[in-house]
Amino acid sequence: GKLAMPSATQTQAEKRKLEEAEVPVGPKPPKAYKNGEFLNSNSARLIRVMCELQEPGQRLDNQGVDNIVMFFGSARAKPRAQYEEALRQAEARVQSAPDDAGTRAALERVKKQAFLVPMFDVTTELARRLTEWSQRRAAEGRASYAVGTGAGPGMMEAANKGAWLAKGPSVGFGISLPFEDRL
């Protein structure tokens, strides 16, 4: 069979029909930066990491925080009164169930934390002194420093307490961990 060629009038008519027809509008997906499904996907992990750097940076800028001295240490550390209460409770549990290996192990874990008790006080004092030193620098027009921590309990709490005692700033940089409930 022969293929029939369209006549010039047919081609013109078809052309006019196409020109007059409304172009169909396809689906309108959300902007990538507003697409929650995308932003929570593995492909967007780098974007989420960048947000975790940029957004706190903007908050620090807005608060006038330029310099931070970070304090690191055990989240398990306790001030003396809390440690002594935890020790008393663990000893009482062992007394009431002396054959329970779990309660004996828990008591040993508490006892192993004893060395941290004086460090809690030292950390509080160091953060207080740092904050007071920084305030004197700021009064002279020099760069000041804020106390920075992981925003958790233990040594981080001690450092934040020291800054608070000196009426100065502290910054908590927290992460979400399944076994920590403070953030």
Q: What is the pLDDT of residues 132-174, one digit of tens each?
A: 999 999 999 999 999 999 888 999 999 999 999 999 999 998 8
CA pair distance 105, 94, nearest whole angstrom: 9
When pLDDT is cut at 50, 70 and 90, the band that residue 29 belongs to is: confident
Q: Which residue has the higher pLDDT, 138 or 27?
A: 138
Torsion of the alpha carbons at 98, 103, 104 and 109, rounded to the nearest 10? -160
Residues 6+ apart with CB under 8 A from 128: 162, 163, 165, 166
Q: What is the pLDDT of residue 133?
A: 98
For residue 146, the one-letter residue type is A
Which pTM value belongs to this model? Answer: 0.71
**Helix (H) / strand (E) containing 124:** helix 116-139
Say how far apart CA 156 and CA 150 lie, in whole Å: 6
Distance CA 170, CA 87 (A): 30
d(CA 168, CA 57): 19
Please tell me the predicted confidence (pLDDT) of residue 175: 74
Q: Encode pLDDT of 62-71 as tens digits.
A: 999 999 999 9
CA atoms of 165 and 84, how far apart (whole Å): 23
Q: For residue 180, what pLDDT is reported?
A: 60
Q: How far is CA 176 from CA 23, 41, 122, 181, in A?
A: 49, 18, 27, 8
DSSP line for 49-71: HHHHHHHHHHHHHHTT---EEE-
Residue 179 has pLDDT above 70, yes or no: no
